[in-house]
């Protein structure tokens, strides 16, 4: 038995593999990350808009893996997402089920920077925006990445 065109087939498969590892998957993941970023910005609670405007994306390529990250560099972002103190402990619906925050059991006082007055607080309830954004886009992003990769494969095998 003889298989004709095996060498050409293997060359095409190698070409497809290299193309997929490069720009195709990176672009698809980037598009998905931007979709989640948009949802996070829509869900983010807004006071002055600093937290919402700080939500960014980053796509990283390491070995055979491409990862899209959606994050913020604001120190208080986790307090908004998960809540704080007794109020956070009472109301943290919507946060990731993989996270188990540890909340203060009692309230605390802090000095208001603008007025100089001391304020007593029992914290704040969770206002999740990152995890719900990810979950709400999960199916759409997965489907879009698969479609982008399939479309590129069709182009490459012609």
Count of other CB atoms within 10 angstroms of residue 28: 23
Q: Is residue 59 part of a domain?
A: yes
Q: What pTM value is reported for the model?
A: 0.83
Query: Which pLDDT value is given to residue 57?
Result: 98
Q: Is residue 14 part of a domain?
A: yes
Split into its structural domains, the chain has a count of 1
**Residue 53 — φ and ψ, nearest 5°?**
-70, -15
Q: Is residue 94 part of a domain?
A: yes
Q: What is the DSSP secondary structure assignment for residue 12, as one 8-state letter?
A: H
Range of the domain at 37: 6-156
Q: Is residue 1 part of a domain?
A: no
pLDDT tens digit sequence for 82-126: 999 999 999 999 999 999 999 999 999 999 999 999 999 999 999
Q: Is residue 61 part of a domain?
A: yes
Distance between CA atoms of 133 and 136, rounded to whole angstroms?
Answer: 5
């Amino acid at each position: 038995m003889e298989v004709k065109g095996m060498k050409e087939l293997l060359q095409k498969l190698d070409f497809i593999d290299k193309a997929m590892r490069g720009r195709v998957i990176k672009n698809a993941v980037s598009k998905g990350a931007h979709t989640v970023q948009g949802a996070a910005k829509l869900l983010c609670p807004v006071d002055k808009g600093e937290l919402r405007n700080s939500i960014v994306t980053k796509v990283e390529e390491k070995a055979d893996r491409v990862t899209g990250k959606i994050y913020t560099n604001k120190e208080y972002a986790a307090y908004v997402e998960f809540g704080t103190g007794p109020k956070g402990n009472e109301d943290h619906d919507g946060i990731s089920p993989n996270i188990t925050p540890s909340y203060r059991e009692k309230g605390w006082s802090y000095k208001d920077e603008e007025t100089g007055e001391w304020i007593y607080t029992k914290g704040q309830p969770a206002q999740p925006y990152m995890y719900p954004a990810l979950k709400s886009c999960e199916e759409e992003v997965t489907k879009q990445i698969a479609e982008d990769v399939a479309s590129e494969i069709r182009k490459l095998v012609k």
